[in-house]
Amino acid sequence: MATLRNAALEAWMKEHGYSSNSLADAVNSAVGDLTGRVGGLDGSSVRDWKAGRVRWPKSATRVALEKVTGLPAVALGFVPRGRAPLSAPAASQEDPVKRRSFITAGTAVAAVAAAPALAAPRRIGTSDIERLQQRFTEIIASDHRHGGQLGIEQEAAALADEALALQNSGSASQRVRAYVYGCAAAFRSSAMWAAIDGRRYKDAMVHMREAQELAELAADPAIKFRIWSHAGTLYRHMGRPVEAIAANDVARNLAITRRDPMFACLGHARQAACHGLAGDPTAVQRALGFAQDALERADQQLLRPAWMTAVRNGAELETLALAAYLSLGKFEQAESHAHRSLALLHPRMQRDRALNTARLAHAQLGQEDIEPAVTTAMSIPPGVVARHPRVTRTIGEFGTRLQTAAPSSSLTCAWNEYARASLWNAA
Looking at per-residue confidence, does 108 or 328 come out higher? Answer: 328
Determine the Cα–Cα distance for residues 369 and 382; give it in Å rounded to an integer: 22
pLDDT at 173: 84
Question: Which of 250, 179, 248, 249 is CA-nearest to residue 217?
Answer: 179
Q: How many residues can be counted in the chain?
A: 427
Instruction: Specify the pTM.
Output: 0.72
- In the chain, what percentage of residues exceed pLDDT 90? 47
pLDDT band with cut points at 50, 70 and 90 for residue 82: low
222 has a pLDDT exceeding 80: yes
Pick the CATH number of 1-79 from 1.10.10, 1.25.10, 1.10.260, 1.10.3470: 1.10.260
In percent, the amount of the chain with pLDDT more than 70 equals: 88
Nearest to 264 by CA among 290, 300, 283: 290
What is the CA angle 413-418-421, rounded to 5? 125
Check whether 83 has a pLDDT greater than 70: no
pLDDT in tens, 296-350: 999 988 888 888 988 989 999 999 999 999 999 999 999 999 999 999 998 888 8
Task: Label residue 84 by pLDDT band (50, 70, 90).
Answer: very low
Q: Averaged over 245-258, what is the pLDDT?
A: 95
Please write the tens of the pLDDT for every residue from 180-209: 999 999 999 999 999 999 899 999 999 999
Q: Compute the distance between CA of residue 213 and CA of residue 35 in angstroms, rounded to an integer.
A: 9
Given a cut of 80, is residue 260 above it in pLDDT? yes
Q: 23-60, pLDDT tens digit by residue?
A: 988 888 888 777 667 888 888 889 989 888 888 888 87
Question: Domains of the chain: which residue ranges?
Answer: 1-79, 123-219, 367-427
